[in-house]
């Protein structure tokens, strides 16, 4: 069974620090911390230590005479256990 995080882009922005692996990804505003944790643990087979979320407001955009607004989105920062590693950019 495949688990998908809603509105997850194909590229995942990540950085590695000396003691933990973190990744942030835009998700659906309706996603909860528990659903994000379950999706990451099942997709990459790692143990998630912490999930932090931010609700981001959509920006106003203009094109010629019309105005619009981008959709609101949720940013999720996932901290993975120090023993686990997501090999997304290995060998690049």
CATH code of the domain occupying 24-58+73-83 = 3.30.70.330
Domain boundaries, the chain: 24-58+73-83
pTM for this prediction: 0.64
d(CA 25, CA 16): 15
Q: How many residues are present in the chain?
A: 92
Q: Average pLDDT in the 4-11 region?
A: 45
Backbone angles phi, psi at 42, to 5 degrees: -80, -40
Q: pLDDT-based confidence at 74, cuts 50/70/90?
A: confident
Please enumerate in sequence order all residues whose Cβ is within 8 A of that of 13, keeping only pairs 6 or more positions apart, or say none: 23, 24, 25
DSSP secondary structure code for residue 80 in this structure: E
Which residues are paired to 52 by β-bridges?
77
Q: What is the pLDDT of residues 10-58, one digit of tens each?
A: 444 333 333 345 566 667 778 889 988 998 899 889 999 999 999 889 8
The DSSP annotation for 11-79 comes to S-EEEE-SS-EEEEEEE-TT--HHHHHHHHHHHH---EEEEEEEEEPPPEEEETTEEEEPPPEEEEEEE
């Amino acid at each position: 069974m495949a688990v998908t995080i809603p509105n997850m882009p194909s590229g995942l922005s990540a950085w590695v620090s000396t003691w933990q692996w973190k990744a942030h990804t835009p998700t659906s505003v309706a996603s909860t911390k528990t659903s994000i944790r379950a999706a990451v643990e099942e997709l990459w087979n790692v143990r998630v230590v912490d999930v932090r979320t931010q609700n981001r407001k959509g920006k106003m955009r203009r094109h010629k005479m019309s105005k619009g607004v981008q959709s609101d989105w949720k940013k999720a920062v996932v901290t993975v256990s120090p023993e686990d590693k997501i090999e997304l950019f290995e060998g690049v």
